[in-house]
Structure 1
């Protein structure tokens, strides 16, 4: 299967590292013009260079801004008014006991993980509908189905993403525009490495080994028994964004290594 996205413009939010950056590279390699996003210009410039290195000759643009805010979203849409493929990847996470999570924490997680995708979908879906083709992908998590007790607030926002994506898929019925969610499981991204950094420095053990220990202790239902790579998750996202995935919409597609103990 050869995925061809030449002539399409893809926006990947939160794409200066991790799954977002891997997705930007994959879309660029398939021929799409890619808009990368991060909170600082320095991070965006590094990401642009990384995508160009991975996909020589690709057209790569950037937007620096915190898309958890309405102000930055408005500025992004003004700078880049057209988008064929929207990857709502921006998200934050972090373990915190339910009783220590403040109203401000709840609001911050909801703005970043849910409302960022809501605002951008509201901005770009009408154009996709008008042209009769478009792809929207929400990067959710297996935590949407397996709510983690150590970060309930995070799990709630990921479940909300599934609801938004399913509802939007139904709203776009028959238009040629698909809306789906992709649910990664434990993934060895920069964010996860940061979570393990203190233990890595203290013990000298590799991030990979620490991630395996975490999966055995906290995600024992994993069939893969190791963390996914960011590229493995990005492969699914790029496929869902492709013409080949034209009959897939309203779906929650798991790249979770079998963590969710379900046959459906």
Structure 2
């Protein structure tokens, strides 16, 4: 729980969350505040993702929240967070299933993942990304803050930047999580998500991002052999981070390398 920010639902705003009780403020993202909540109708915990007060005057941000909610409602996959409801007015918010609190970011802060956890993370995210791609979407924002991992189960918990392939759009998230083509506003493809997956696995394996915020001329440091990595796993992660999209492996190839280690 984020104890540094006090952001409770006020009585004045209670109408739009009728039927829900805020338990705790979990985190503040680039676009939304995220709350642990209680659903009176379901008699169960849930997560409410609501547009930040300082972003509510911007129509584009309002549309992003609603679009993400509608996309999540259309998705049914064990490794993608499930949405229950999406509301547009007066303030956009999404009601999600509980379980998005155990972010990978916090786990990595405790140290690099074991090889088995890394393999589970890789294979499960390959499955989720493959599902997204078959549905005609790219994720485009793979980073530890957008993935939960709890007791061996990984889930994508944020699809706010998801879009159809081909569009040449600049990266909106942190520069260190953007592929070369995103950083340069070039057309994006499934290989763009492979780069994001590689960057995430690199950070999970080492505790550090493969590149810094200033990407100009940045080279990905080699993955040294250690107790957490084998030559094949280190090699596939580095291949994911190839500057050229054509040189990156497919999701299926990444999954094949990690599957025997689960």
Q: TM-score, normalised by structure 1?
A: 0.28
The structure that has the greater radius of gyration is 2
Structure number with the higher helix fraction is 1
Q: TM-score, normalised by structure 2?
A: 0.28
Which structure's relative contact order is higher, taking Cα pairs within 8 Å and 6+ residues apart? Answer: 1
